Amino acid sequence: MFSKHFAPFRQLNPFVLSASLGILFLSTAQQALAHHALGSETPTNFFEGFLSGLAHPVIGLDHLAFVIAIGFIAAGQINGAMIPAGFVLAALVGTAIHLFSVNLPLTEIAIALSVVIFGAMLAIPHKPDWIVLLILGAIAGLFHGYAYGEAIIGAGMMPLVAYLLGFSLIQYAIAMLARAIGNLIIHKTPNRQIMRLCGLAIGAIGIVFMTNLLFG
């Protein structure tokens, strides 16, 4: 009886469903654009720095979507744990680039594009080699880390170290949790339909952010 009522929904294109999800997330995205647990305040001690570091990748939906995507895409990969690790290390370098006042152009667009690309790769059946994914993840990490640097400019050494520690730990933890869930999904659903839908949803989020950046 229930299948009869829900039959029309099964006929909807998965991308339409995923795009709708992305648009739904956009309704809360404006609140996430600050990416800062302390609002506009610069962290002044270890606790504030660590809290801000933990929050930044989670409050920012574009960052969170990418971290989940890179965790999912690492599932089933040889040396899969190195893929999110490369991203996290590159994010540290990206933050350092920002703190040394080196300009990295089109940062927000590159971040949105990284979400689209990794969502698309997650949706396709055949993934690139883990080394390619590691390199692509590291490139994305530079831009994500550069954006993270904005929230810590002007902070002292102690809150800065705490901030770097916080965002590194939370990103790697989320990515590895996503990888573990992805491994379970792959083993439980050999057709990878769930992973494909996750990739489409993540890609749709990236498209929504990209559209918002380009057209306001």
pLDDT digits (tens, 9 = 90+) for 161-205: 999 999 999 999 999 999 999 999 888 776 578 888 999 999 999
How far apart are alpha carbons 52 and 37 in whole angstroms? 5
Q: Which position has the token pair 């370098």?
A: 93
Residue 34 lies in a domain: no
Closest CA to 94 of 140, 130, 143, 61: 143
- Residue 43 tokens, joined: 């962290």
- CA dist 14 and 3 (Å) reads 18
Expressed as residue numbers, the domain containing 115 is: 45-215
Q: In terms of DSSP H, where are the helices of the chain?
A: 2-10, 14-32, 46-59, 61-74, 82-99, 107-123, 130-149, 157-188, 193-215
Does a structural domain hold residue 137? yes
The total number of structural domains that make up the chain: 1
Give the tens place of pLDDT for each residue, 28-70: 444 444 455 656 678 999 999 999 999 999 999 999 999 999 9
pTM: 0.84
